[in-house]
Amino acid sequence: MKEESLGIVIGTIVSVEKAENSDRLHIVRIDVGCRIVQVATSLASFFDEGQLLGKQVPIKTDVKTTKIRGVESEARFIAILSENKKPILLLPDKAVRNGSIVL
Burial class (CB in 10 A: 0-12, 13-18, 19+), 73: buried
Which CATH number fits the domain that encloses residue 48?
2.40.50.140
Integer Cα distance of 98 and 34 in angstroms: 8
Domain limits for position 50: 8-89
Number of domains comprising the chain: 1
pLDDT digits (tens, 9 = 90+) for 57-78: 999 999 999 999 999 999 999 9
61 and 75 Cβ atoms separated by less than 8 Å: yes
97 domain residue, yes or no: no
Alpha-carbon torsion angle 67, 73, 77, 80, nearest 10:
-10
103 domain residue, yes or no: no
Examine the pLDDT at 2 and tell me if it is beyond 80: no
- What is the reported pTM? 0.92
1 domain residue, yes or no: no
Q: Report pLDDT for 53.
A: 97
pLDDT class of 1 with cuts at 50, 70, 90: low
pLDDT digits (tens, 9 = 90+) for 89-98: 999 999 999 9
74 domain residue, yes or no: yes
94 domain residue, yes or no: no
2 domain residue, yes or no: no
For residue 101, the 8-state DSSP code is B
